[in-house]
Structure formats: structure tokens, C-alpha cells
Amino acid sequence: MSEPSQALVVAGHGSHLNPESSTPIFEHANRIRKQDVFDEVREAFWKEEPAFREVLRTLDSDEIYVVPAFMSNGYFTNRVIPRELRIADGWEPETNGHVHYGEPVGTHDSMTDVIIQRAETVTANPSVGNGTGLAVVGHGTERHEDSDASTKAHAAAIRARDRFDEVRALFMDEPPYIDDVTDHFETEDIVVVPLFVADGYHTREDIPEDMGLTDDYRDGYDIPTTIDGHRIWYSGAVGTEPLLADVILQRAAEAGARIGQSRTKRATKPTPGV
């Protein structure tokens, strides 16, 4: 008896204003597609096409696994995506397959590895840590007490590894603020990694200007840039790191997907006794 076919949907926010906001989603989906572990892989968005509401009906697989490419649990992961996919209580999704809804990538424990990998990438130093501080930057908001939870959790997990001299969780919209990044570190070198999926308005404009890397993001800035005697290595959004594709796969596996081997290998596996 053949195994049920399975599909993966990588769900992102997208943007009508910034066409590059969806780029990491397409890139991660393509990395997973090349691994050939799913019969179908689709991207879906709230603010772009293909839309959440339409994606399920484009799939033919028996089992469908939806993984939100969001950095925290909140309004979109708990309400918008289930509503748009029609997998909320009492609704039947428009698909022939059974839908499994996973947890967001940003709250997964292995995101700490992605953050560290991002620090290695921006510094071009696979051993970065000794003599270096690390700032994990979240959006934050004082209106929602749990909005900063994943940022603080990842900072604490990295701190526990004792790799970097200093590790801090900083935020855009709540204290401690990223604007004052140099006030929070004694190390000369500071790597700044924003916990965002894509490089958009916040990561390309707000954070560089708030930190003082530039007065106008359109003029650009050097990496590293020296501010108040500290060298700032600004990585841009963590979600652009290729390693995030592995976290998506882990979330799909936790939701029940078979990730062990490619479809090609399963199809060519010899029958016992033949």
C-alpha cells in the first residue's frame, strides 16, 4: 500500500508595498522543493498572491501541512491564517486533503541556531562570539505583553551557550530600545540580528536609522559601522538566512509530516525479499 501524498504550505505575511517581503518565503520553499520530500510545496500570503484563502484548493495531496513563517504566535497565526484557510472550529477547508496546522517558525528552539548562523554570515566569521556582543532585536509592543516573548527566549538560550561575551534582547517599540544599542554593551564589536522574516520597512529603514548607522537609509551604510566606539555588524532580517528552511521542515515534521527521505528514494526503495 502506497504512503499518502503530502503537501507543504509555507505561509507568509507578504506586502503590497514591498515586493521583496515575500522573497525569503519563495526562496525557502524552493530549497525545500529541491529536497523532494513533499509531493507539493506552495507559498501563500496574507497581502500577496497566492492568497491564504485560495491555496488549499490548488493542492491534490492527501495530507497538507501548513507552517506559518512568522516570528511569534499572535493575531495572524492564531486567528487570520486559520480563518482564511477555513480550518477554524466548525469550518471545512476547500480541499480533498487533511490539513495539519503547525506552529510558527520563530518560536522554535532551533531558531537560536539560525540567529547564530546569521551572526556568522554577516561577520564572515564561523567562530564569531569571543569578544563580541549579540543583540537580538524584536518589534515589541507594550500593547501585547507576550509580543516580546520569543525574542527574549532566544536571547536567553544563546546567552546560556556562553559563546558571546554579551547577549541582549532589544526592541523597536518597547524598552530596552535598539536606538540605544551601544548603551547596553561593553564589547567593542556588536552583532545586531533582527528577528524578522524579511527585509522590509523596519529592517531596512527604521532600525539602521534608529541605531545611527545612517541618517537616511537611502544613502546606505557600511558594515561594520563604528558608533560611539563600537563596531556594529548589522545582519538584516534573520528570516533571510538559508538555514530557516530547516526550521520550516522541523515544524512540518512536528505536525506529522514524513521528512525522513525524498520521494524519489521512497519510490525506488527495493521491496524486502525481492
pLDDT of residue 272: 42
pLDDT, mean of residues 48-56 = 93
Check residue 59 and report its DSSP letter: -
Q: What are phi and psi of 76, to 5 degrees?
A: -70, -45
Asked if 198 and 240 count as a contact pair (C-beta separation under 8 A), the reply is: yes
**Given a cut of 50, is residue 274 above it in pLDDT?**
no
**Given a cut of 70, is residue 235 above it in pLDDT?**
yes
pLDDT of residue 90: 61
For the chain, where do the domains classified as CATH 3.40.50.1400 start and end? Answer: 6-107+242-267, 111-240
Find the radius of gyration of the CA atoms of the chain. 20
pLDDT, mean of residues 11-26 = 87
pLDDT of residue 185: 98
pLDDT of residue 130: 97
Q: In CATH terms, is domain 111-240 a member of 3.40.50.1400?
A: yes
- The greatest distance separating any two alpha carbons of the chain, rounded to the nearest whole angstrom, comes to 71
* C-alpha cell at position 85: 484557510
**Given a cut of 90, is residue 164 above it in pLDDT?**
yes
Asked if 69 and 239 count as a contact pair (C-beta separation under 8 A), the reply is: yes
Residues 248, 134: Cα–Cα separation, whole Å: 24
Please give the CATH topology (third level) of the domain spanning 6-107+242-267.
Answer: Rossmann fold (3.40.50)
Most confident of 93-102, 158-167, 197-206: 158-167
CA quadruple 252, 253, 254, 256: dihedral positive or negative? positive
Helices (H) and strands (E) in the chain, counts: 9, 9
pLDDT of residue 1: 58
pLDDT of residue 267: 47
